Structures are given as structure tokens and as C-alpha cells.
Amino acid sequence: MRSCRDITALVSQGLDRKLSLGERLAINLHIMMCSRCRSFQRQTRFIRKAARRYTEHLQSRSGKKT
Amino acid sequence: MLVKAGAKATGLLTEALLAEHRPVLFRYALLQLRDDELADDAVQETLLAAWQSASTFEGKAGLRTWLIGILKHKIADHWRRSGREIVTSDIGFTDTDESDSDEDDFFMSNGQWNGGPSAWNDPEAALRQQEFWGIYETCQNNLPPKMAQVFMLRELVGLEADEICRETGLSDANYWVIMHRARLRLRECLEMRWFNQSKRNKEKRHA
């Protein structure tokens, strides 16, 4: 079984490129049993969402017109 | 707006095609200039310049890359005009070898988490709270400068991984490492400063 270090690296890459079937399987198998990596996956998705929302904040905060 | 449509028929570029890239260019400019109006002006000038020199666009590097190249010049012009040194506007960096191996702080030698994530209580609710954004900003600013730039080009500006590599001169491998570290750090920071804190606050409130 791959380590948490490897799995989280894959999870991270999954946000920026299309993973292979093998990679996706490895992740799914791992996170079924590992709650920390499961949290990591959930939280990195959340961070992406927050970053987008933050950009909207930035745009509306610094001026009147967008 | 741009020059009247149809004034130039370049074959490759149309006004609509250029306008499609406006949001990404705007976010890019905003990150650098930190001001809506200045960013808007820079984008406007960029699109105008692109339109005027459309014949020089060869389509090799991709339209967005070409436009960002022009935008960088416009931003540099702005700093020059305002008498500031150009310090922040150059995103490209050459020393790709970020020798800090801080992933070691997150994992033990056998690859298992060292500490690691705990479950977050209702992250969606955080998005609606003003104080959360202050914390988010702090955590983002706490990233090492290069890491922050790569992260922001990806998540805030919305460039694709290969565009960022071209833009910064990073190799694929370096890009993945940097983005991963950025996420590990941000995650940990948010957990420490917000999610664990708010748990504590709630306990206080209920006590």
C-alpha cells in the first residue's frame, strides 16, 4: 500500500491534472482506510473553493467597478 | 471598449476571442496591482495593444500566454510611471530548486502523517464569516513568496499547470512539489488558526 505522503501528493496533482485510472484507484483504496488522507482530500477541495471566493472578495473590496 | 469590431480582420484574432481572456487577465493584473481600476486599465491597454498588433500573433505559444506577456509589460510600465522599482511584477524565477524540504515536517520517515489533518467542522459556514477571510489571507501570505505566487497563479488567476510552468520556468516535477507544499501549509494553517479555534470558541460559548 502506498504511504500517506505519496497518496496526498497524488490527491494534490488530481486538482491540477487528470489522473490515470490506476492513480484514482490507489487513492480511493487508501482513503477508504485512512481518515487523515480522506480529510486532506476534502480540505484541499475546500481550499480551492475558498481561493476562488477570496478572489471575488478581492475584486469587490478594492473598488467600485469590476 | 476595443476598436470597432470588423475594423481589422486578422483571421486569427477576433474581438470576442480576446474578450474571453479578460477575466483571467483582470485577476492576474489585480494580484499585481492590488487595485481594481489600475487592473482594469492595464487589461484594457493590453487588449487594445493585442488588437493593434494582432498580425504579429503567431498562435504558437497560445493566445493567453501571448496576452499575459503583453499584460506584464503594461504592469511594468505602470510601476515605472509611478516611480517604483519593479520588484513584484516579475513572476518568472530561475532558481527552481527550492531546497527547503518542508514536506518532512508533515510526514514521518515512513511516509505516514506526522500529526496530520483532523476533521473540520462545517467548512461551508466559514465561507460566510468575515473573520475567516482575514485568517485565510494571513495563511496565504504566510507561504514563502514563490510558493504563494505559483499557488495564486493557479487558484486565484486560474491558469492551467502547463501555462504556469511556461510562465515561471518551473519544471513539471517542481510545479507539483510546490503546489503540494502550498496546500499542505495552507491546510495546516487554516486548521490551526480557524477550525481548531472555532471549536474552542464554541466550547467556550456552551460552557
Confidence at B207, pLDDT banded by 50, 70, 90? low
B140 in the same domain as B71? no
Confidence at A41, pLDDT banded by 50, 70, 90? very high
B195 in the same domain as B130? yes
| Torsion angle (degrees, nearest 10) of CA B160, B162, B163, B164 | 90
**Cβ contact, residue pair A3, B127, below 8 Å:** no
B129 in the same domain as B64? no
B197 in the same domain as B110? yes
B194 in the same domain as B135? yes
Q: List the single best residue of B24, B27, B32, B36 to mutate versus A (max A Cβ within 10 A).
A: B36
B76 in the same domain as B128? no
Domain ranges of chain A: 4-61
Burial of B165 (0-12, 13-18, 19+ CB in 10 A): middle
Q: Which residue of A has its CA nearest to B126?
A: A50
Asked if pLDDT for residue B192 goes beyond 90, the answer is yes
* Structural domain boundaries, residue B57: 15-81
Summarised one tens digit per residue, pLDDT across range A1-27 is: 689 999 999 999 999 999 999 999 999
> Which of B112, B120, B191 faces A3 most closely, judged by CB atoms?
B112
B186 in the same domain as B121? yes
Q: Which positions in chain B have a beta carbon within 8 angstroms of at least one beta carbon in chain A?
A: 26-27, 30, 34-37, 40, 103, 106-107, 110-113, 116-120, 123, 126-127, 133, 136-137, 140, 151, 154-156, 160-161, 175-176, 179-180, 183-184, 186-187, 190-191
Neighbours of A51 (CB within 10 A): 18
Show the cell assigned to B123: 467548512
Residue of A22, A21, A1, A23 lying closest to A12 (CA atoms) = A23
CB contact at 8 A, B66 and B91? no
Asked if pLDDT for residue B89 goes beyond 60, the answer is no
> Which of B106, B127, B154 faces A50 most closely, judged by CB atoms?
B127
**Cβ contact, residue pair B113, A36, below 8 Å:** yes
Q: Is residue B187 part of a domain?
A: yes
> Which of A44, A51, A66 faces B156 most closely, judged by CB atoms?
A51
Number of domains within chain B:
2
Which 3-state string (H, E, C) describes chain B?
CCCCCCCCCCCCCCHHHHHHCHHHHHHHHHHHHCCHHHHHHHHHHHHHHHHHCHHHCCCCCCHHHHHHHHHHHHHHHHHHHCCCCCCCCCCCCCCCCCCCCCHHHHECCCCCECCCCCCCCCHHHHHCCHHHHHHHHHHHHCCCHHHHHHHHHHHHHCCCHHHHHHHHCCCHHHHHHHHHHHHHHHHHHHHHHHHHHHHHHHHHHHC
Question: Which is higher by pLDDT, A15 or B95?
Answer: A15
Chain B residues closer than 8 Å to A65 by CB: 36-37, 40
Q: Is residue B27 part of a domain?
A: yes
Summarised one tens digit per residue, pLDDT across range B17-33 is: 888 899 999 999 988 88
Q: Is residue B158 part of a domain?
A: yes
- Check which CATH number belongs to the domain holding B23 and give it: 1.10.1740.10
Q: What pLDDT is recorded for position B83?
A: 74
To the nearest whole percent, how much of chain A has pLDDT over 70?
89
B107 in the same domain as B75? no
Q: Is residue B49 part of a domain?
A: yes
B124 in the same domain as B77? no
B189 in the same domain as B111? yes
Chain A residues closer than 8 Å to B172 by CB: none
B113 in the same domain as B76? no
- Check which CATH number belongs to the domain holding B194 and give it: 1.10.10.10
Burial of B140 (0-12, 13-18, 19+ CB in 10 A): buried
Burial of B204 (0-12, 13-18, 19+ CB in 10 A): exposed
Q: Is residue B69 part of a domain?
A: yes
> CA-based Rg of chain A, rounded to a whole angstrom?
16
Q: What pLDDT is recorded for position B9?
A: 42
